[in-house]
């Protein structure tokens, strides 16, 4: 039987839908079933875990559990979290090091699986200190990415909200502290000036020292989200408050330039706008004018991207998961529009974004067509299909308050 939080929501949803699921939900179910089989979640296949994809997958299963009322999707979310922690929280099978990457004992590591961060799950082992840097090869090498860790924090936070299990939000906040300490660079004093893009598996050295353009923003909003969750249920809280981390990210965010023409990056900013709005509704006070700044950045980015002609290119020249990130972001903007924002300036900017809303349907329909699922689709099949499922059924990923209906 579903846990009480999910059970009540599932019953409510089934009443609304008279026990029926729509075509989009059925398509998402099929995509997530294939993913579970291929990656060893529901079969005897070797566990094929990849942190970014798995973070979206956890949210998808939670959303499907709520929309269908079926226990099996909740079970898959819980099982996937366990597999990710055991697989990506441990050293690789081809690594001479063994055990949890945090260095904790097996028993202590099970209690604190995110203490040492989590591996990306790339095919190749990480670059040794004596090996020369190869920018192309580095994409296929293991290590830790900050923006993957924040996606996992979000997935754990969603799992905590959906199930009422406090362990998930505790693990998320412990991961947030670990990531902040490892990825931020302090050149003077105790305030970080920048971040690094990629760290080694044990977080002892930078593998790519340049900064991800949106990483400080990602850290700031995710930390605020985790702090908001903690504030909602403060009793018996032993996890870190994240006040120090939020202040550090805020220092870097003040200097940020968020404009990008990358569809995945634009989509991430659109989701950030939605999350900031939700945080305001929950009584948090994000940095003044940050929503307005991100609205401006996404309007500029979408204007450039749609003029670039990339969406008119044949499938073999496109990357589905990057476009699907934009589609997910447009779902977030549609939800924001339903909130009927009062601020007139925001409403005008939101109207400018809504002119692009049909891109979501275009992207989804293009990649649902088997004729467009070419070599580039199959090279990244797991991430493509999971993110397509997220776009088709985005509630698990975008829901901020699991105690309320949409």
CA–CA dist 380, 359 (Å, integer): 22
Q: What's the pLDDT score for residue 240?
A: 80
Q: Please, is 166 exposed, middle or buried when counting C-beta atoms within 10 Å of its C-beta (0-12, 13-18, 19+)?
A: middle
Inside any domain, residue 338: yes
The closest alpha carbon to 303, from 363, 362, 343, 263, belongs to 263
Q: What does the pLDDT read at residue 400?
A: 74
Q: How far apart are alpha carbons 205 and 308 in whole angstroms?
A: 38
State the Cα–Cα distance between residues 59 and 161, nearest whole angstrom.
11
Say if residue 129's pLDDT is above 50.
Answer: yes
Does position 26 have pLDDT exceeding 80, yes or no? yes
Domain C-terminal end among 237, 256, 275: 256
> Residue 12 has what pLDDT?
42
Least confident of 92-96, 102-106, 179-183, 336-340: 336-340
Residues 301 and 404 in one domain: yes
pLDDT of residue 401: 64
Residues 71 and 46 in one domain: yes
Q: Is residue 251 part of a domain?
A: yes
Residue 3 pLDDT: 53
Q: Return the HEC string of 361-383.
A: HHHHHHHHCHHHCCHHHHHCHHH
User: Is residue 134 one of the residues assigned to a domain?
Assistant: no
**Please, are residues 199 and 179 in contact by the beta-carbon 8 Å criterion?**
no
Tally the domains of the chain. Answer: 3
Check pLDDT > 60 for residue 124: yes
| Domain match, 252 and 271 both | no
Give the domain extent around 269: 260-406
Lowest-pLDDT range of 22-36, 41-55, 327-341: 327-341
Structure tokens at 171: 């693990």
Mark whether 197 and 301 lie in a shared domain: no
Strand order, beta sheet including 198-199: 144-145, 198-199, 206-208
Domain contains 95: no
Q: Which of 256, 282, 316 is the last residue of a domain?
A: 256
**Is there a single domain that holds both residue 291 and residue 348?**
yes
Global pTM reads 0.93
CB within 8 A of 290, min separation 6: which ones?
Answer: 253, 276
Span 82-116, pLDDT tens digits: 999 999 999 999 999 999 999 999 999 999 999 99
Q: Do 52 and 183 share a structural domain?
A: no
Residue 347 lies inside a defined structural domain of this protein: yes
Q: Are residues 154 and 272 in the same domain?
A: no
pLDDT at 148 over 80: yes
What Cα–Cα distance (Å) separates residue 145 from each residue in 83, 141, 196, 209, 400?
19, 11, 9, 11, 24
Residues 314 and 251 in one domain: no
Q: 367 and 230 share a domain? A: no
Within a domain: 226: yes
What backbone torsions phi and psi does residue 208 show, to the nearest 5 degrees? -130, 105
Q: Are residues 221 and 316 in the same domain?
A: no
Question: Of 152, 82, 154, 96, whose CA–CA distance to 120 is shortest?
Answer: 152
Q: Which two tokens stand for residue 6?
A: 């999910």
pLDDT tens digit sequence for 350-368: 999 999 999 999 999 999 9
Q: Give the chain's mean pLDDT.
A: 91
Residues 33 and 122 in one domain: no
Q: Evaluate whether residue 390 is within a structural domain.
A: yes
The residue among 210, 237, 256 that closes a domain is: 256
Contact predicate 224/284, CB 8 Å: yes
Residue 109 lies in a domain: no
At 100 the pLDDT is 98
What's the angle, vertex CA 162, arms to CA 157 and CA 166, rounded to 5?
55
| pLDDT surpassing 80 at residue 20 | no
Are residues 290 and 404 located together in one domain of the fold?
yes
Band of the pLDDT at 23, cuts 50, 70, 90?
Answer: very high
């Amino acid at each position: 039987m579903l846990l009480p939080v999910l059970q009540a929501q599932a019953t409510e949803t089934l009443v609304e839908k008279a026990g029926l699921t729509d075509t989009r939900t059925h398509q998402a179910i099929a995509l997530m079933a294939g993913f579970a089989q291929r990656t060893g979640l529901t079969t005897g296949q070797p566990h094929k875990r990849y942190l970014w994809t798995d973070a979206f997958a956890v949210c998808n299963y939670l959303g499907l559990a709520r929309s269908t009322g079926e226990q099996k999707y909740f079970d898959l979310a819980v099982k996937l979290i366990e597999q990710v922690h055991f697989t990506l929280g441990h050293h690789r099978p081809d690594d001479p090091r063994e055990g949890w990457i945090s260095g904790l004992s097996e028993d202590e590591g099970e209690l604190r699986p995110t203490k040492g961060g989590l591996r990306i799950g790339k095919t190749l082992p990480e670059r040794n200190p004596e090996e020369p840097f190869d920018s192309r090869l580095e994409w296929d090498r293991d290590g830790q990415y900050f923006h993957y860790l924040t996606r996992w924090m979000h997935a754990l936070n969603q799992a905590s909200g959906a199930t009422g299990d406090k362990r998930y939000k505790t693990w998320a906040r412990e991961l947030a502290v670990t990531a902040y300490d490892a990825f931020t660079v302090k050149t003077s004093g105790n305030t970080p000036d920048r971040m690094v893009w990629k760290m080694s598996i044990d977080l002892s050295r930078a593998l790519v020292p340049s900064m991800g353009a949106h990483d400080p923003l990602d850290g700031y909003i995710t930390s605020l989200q985790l702090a908001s969750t903690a504030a909602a249920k403060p009793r018996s809280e032993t996890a870190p408050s994240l006040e120090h981390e939020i202040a550090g990210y805020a220092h870097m965010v003040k200097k940020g330039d968020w404009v990008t023409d990358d569809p995945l990056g634009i989509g991430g900013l659109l989701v950030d706008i939605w999350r900031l709005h939700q945080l305001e509704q929950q009584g948090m006070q994000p940095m003044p004018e940050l929503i307005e700044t991100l609205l401006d950045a996404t309007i500029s980015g979408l204007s450039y991207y749609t003029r670039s002609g990339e969406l008119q290119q044949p499938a073999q020249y496109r990357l589905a998961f990057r476009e699907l990130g934009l589609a997910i972001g447009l779902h977030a903007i549609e939800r924001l529009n339903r909130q009927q924002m009062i601020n007139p300036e925001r409403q005008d900017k939101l109207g400018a974004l809504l002119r692009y809303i049909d891109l979501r349907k275009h992207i989804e329909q293009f990649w649902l067509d088997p004729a467009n699922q070419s070599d580039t689709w199959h090279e990244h099949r797991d991430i493509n299909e999971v993110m397509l499922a997220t776009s088709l059924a985005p509630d698990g990923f975008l829901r901020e308050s699991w105690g309320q209906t949409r």
